Amino acid sequence: MSNPFKLLFVNILLLSLFVVGYFFHYVSQIYVNDLSKITYLISGLLFLNIVLAIWNSFYKFNQRTIYDTKVDKYLAFVGSKFPYIGICGTIIGLAALIQILNTVSGGTASEQIGSLLTAIKAGMLTLFYPTLVGVVAYLWTSVLIFLDEGKDI
């Protein structure tokens, strides 16, 4: 049987790391630079998964049951889809990069190259961040499922 307090402790620890990263502008940079805004969707689903996993763990603990519930199946399904949602953000970022590259025109050659490099940098950040957030959310949800099954890390 899983221990809900262990699951609660791990989530408080991971959320505190997230908050510290946000205050040092490591996390906020991800949300600012992502043009597709898919990272907001992934973060919202991850927060929902955390709340449901903790609730489900306390429910199982109080009912003294080890059987899977519908919430277990939901967590496994949605958790496995996070990388794919991140890849969708990557594709949206690639489309935005191509759109930005089409608008570069005028000025001297050095001005065009400078604006082209700026556009590529913005597009590459948009390509990278949704996939990164999707993989982190997948790993976090995998830890939730692993702990909910009563296993130790």
Other CB atoms within 10 A of residue 88 CB: 17
Q: Please report the pLDDT score of residue 37 as a whole number.
A: 83
Residues 96-146 pLDDT 10s? 777 777 776 667 777 778 877 877 777 777 778 888 888 989 988 888 888
The phi and psi torsions of 51 (rounded to 5 degrees) equal: -65, -45
Give the C-alpha separation, 130 to 90, whole Å: 6
Q: Please report the pLDDT score of residue 80 as a whole number.
A: 87
The domains of the chain are located at 4-148
Query: How would residue 152 be classed by pLDDT, with cut points 50, 70 and 90?
Result: low
Give me the chain's average pLDDT, please: 80
Least confident interval from 14-23, 76-85, 105-114, 125-134: 105-114
Q: Please report the pLDDT score of residue 153 as a whole number.
A: 53
Mean pLDDT of the region 76-85: 87
Mean pLDDT of the region 44-62: 84
Please state the pTM of the whole predicted model.
0.76
Give the C-alpha separation, 91 to 35, whole Å: 11
